[in-house]
Amino acid sequence: MLNRIFSILGAQWLIHQDTAVSYLPVLIAFVKGQEMLLKPADDKKPYVVAWSDSAQLIPTIGKWNLTDASIPENSVAVIPVDGVICSWNSVDLMTMLRDAEANDSINSILLVVNSPGGMVSQIDLLAGSIKSMTKPTVSVVMGMAASAAMWVISATSYRIATSPIDVIGSIGTKTSIQDYSGLLEKIGIKITDFYATKATRKDEEVRAIKESGDTKPMTAFVDFVNEVFHQTIRENLGIAADSEVFTGAAFFAAKAQELGLINEIGSMDYALAKAYQLGLRNKIINQSKSLNIFNQ
C-alpha cells in the first residue's frame, strides 16, 4: 500500500479535474500522518457472456475467468475499466486483453468504462494493446470516459455511450507541484537537496519553478505528453487537429458523438449485441481469407 501511495504522489496524471480535487483530503491526511481508514478495493471482475441459438443473451459458466476452457463459442469478454486508472490497473487490463485474445471461444471484447482518467504511465501501452487486438473491441461508457480513459476508448473499434449525461473527452494534460517544506518544518523536519556538479539538469522542471519561478521547463514537459495524447486521438479517431476536442473540454454524450469521440448512444445490451455482431463478422472475414489462401 505504501509503495502505491508514493507512486501516486510522484505520478503524472491525465485525469478530470473534479476527481483530482476529490482526492485532496486523502492526500492531506497522508502528509499529516493521520490515520486513513481505506477499504479494500471492490474491483469489478471480467466475465463472459454468450448467445443461445435463439439469440437471447445468457450468462455463461466460467464467469470471472477469461481462460476457462468451457466458454461457449462466439462469446463476448466483458472487461470493466472502472475508477481511476493507475499504472498497475493498466498492466492488469493488458493481461485480461491477452487472455481474451488467446481464447478461441471469445470473438470480441467489450470494455465497460466509467473512469475520470488516471496515470500517464502505461496508458499508451494499454491503448496500444487494444489497438493491436485481432478481435473487435467495443467500449461502452457508463458515466464517464475522460482524459486517460478517453485515450483508452479511442483505441477501440467502436464506442457507445449509454446516457445523454455521460461525460466524455477532457483531452488534455496537467501536472501539479506539491511543496510540503512548510508543513515539514512545522513538525521539525528540514530537507536540503544537494546535486552533483554535473547534474545541472537533474529535476530541472521543479528546480526552475522553486529557484526562479520559471514554469517553461515544466510546461514543455506537459506539452510533450499532451502532443502524444493529441496525436493518438487524431490517428485513432480521424479528428482534425483544430477540433475543439483538443481544448481539454469534456462533453455530454450527444456533443461527443457530434465531435466524433463516440459512435452512438445506446444501452448496455445494445453494446453487447454490437460486440457480438462485430465478432461474428470478423470471424467470417478471417475464415474467408483463410479459404482464399487455401484455394490459391
DSSP 3-state of 146: strand
Across the chain, where does the E strand assignment appear? 13-15, 47-51, 57-59, 75-82, 106-115, 117-119, 137-146, 158-161, 167-169, 250-252, 264-265
* Average pLDDT value for residue range 1-17: 57
For residue 2, what pLDDT is reported?
44
The residue among 263, 259, 50, 269 whose CA lies nearest residue 170 is: 259
Higher per-residue pLDDT: 292 or 72: 72
For residue 60, what pLDDT is reported?
45
For residue 61, what pLDDT is reported?
42
* Average pLDDT value for residue range 20-34: 54
Q: How far apart, in whole angstroms, are the C-alpha atoms of residue 63 and residue 5? A: 32
Is residue 293's pLDDT more than 80?
Answer: no
For residue 188, what pLDDT is reported?
82
pLDDT, tens digit, for every residue of 197-248? 999 999 898 889 988 999 999 999 999 999 999 999 999 999 999 999 999 9
For residue 6, what pLDDT is reported?
44
Q: How far apart, in whole angstroms, are the C-alpha atoms of residue 194 and residue 25? A: 31
Q: What percent of the chain has pLDDT over 70?
A: 77
For residues 78 and 112, the answer to whether their CB atoms sit within 8 Å is: yes
pLDDT, tens digit, for every residue of 173-185? 887 776 767 766 7
For residue 123, what pLDDT is reported?
95
Q: How far apart, in whole angstroms, are the C-alpha atoms of residue 78 and residue 109? A: 6
Mean pLDDT of the chain: 84
For residue 174, what pLDDT is reported?
82
Which region among 1-10, 45-54, 140-149 has the lowest average model confidence (pLDDT)? Answer: 1-10
Is residue 49's pLDDT more than 60?
Answer: yes
Q: Where are the domains of the chain?
A: 2-178+187-295
Is residue 26's pLDDT more than 80?
Answer: no
Residue 226: CB partners within 8 Å, gap ≥ 6?
Answer: 172, 173
Is residue 290's pLDDT more than 50?
Answer: yes
Q: How far apart, in whole angstroms, are the C-alpha atoms of residue 146 and residue 143? A: 10
What is the architecture of the domain spanning 2-178+187-295? Answer: Alpha-Beta Complex (3.90)
